[in-house]
Amino acid sequence: MSALMTLTVLAQAAAGEVGSGRIQGGWGYVWVSYGITWGAFALYSLSLWLRRPKNSPAGPKE
């Protein structure tokens, strides 16, 4: 969610540049990208952990 907000902020910033130069690359784009990646991995791990088989004989680990 926060990644999404950062993205909208970025989009607005980019839109504000119209007429005042070029679209600039930079670390902002990189951090948003890596944030999305790591966040997706973390959230998916969390969802797997929440959905873990409950009463399995293998035991509720991880």
Partner 1 sequence: MTPVARNRLILVGALLVAGAGLAVVAFGKIGDNLVYYWSPAEMLGQGEKAYGPTIRLGGVVKPGSIQWNAEHTTLHFHVATDHTPGSASVLVRSTEVPPQMFRDGIGVVVEGTFDKSQVFASNRLMVNHSNEYRAPKPGEEPRKWQETVEGSTTASATGAQ
Partner 2 sequence: MGKFLRMALPPIALGLLVTGHYIGLAVAPPDREMGDVQRIMYAHVPAVWIALMALTINFICSVVYLFKPSWKTDSLAEASAEVGLLFGTVGVLLGAIWGRPTWGVYWTWDPRLTTAAILLVSYMGYMALRRFVEDPEKRAVWSAVVGIIAAVDLPIIWYSVKWWRSLHQVQSSPKTVDPEMVLPLRISAFAFLAFMILFILHRYRIALHERQAEVALPDALPTDGPQANRTPGVV
Site for partner 2 in 15-44 (CB under 8 A): 23-27, 29-30, 32-34, 36-37, 40-41, 44
**Smallest separation (angstroms) from partner 1 to the CB of 4:** 22
At a CB cut-off of 8 Å and minimum separation 6, what does 3 contact?
32, 35, 36, 39
Site for partner 1 in 1-60 (CB under 8 A): 17-25
- 60: contact with partner 2 by CB under 8 A: no
At a CB cut-off of 8 Å and minimum separation 6, what does 54 contact?
60
Residues contacting partner 2: total by CB under 8 A: 28
* Token representation of residue 6: 């950062």
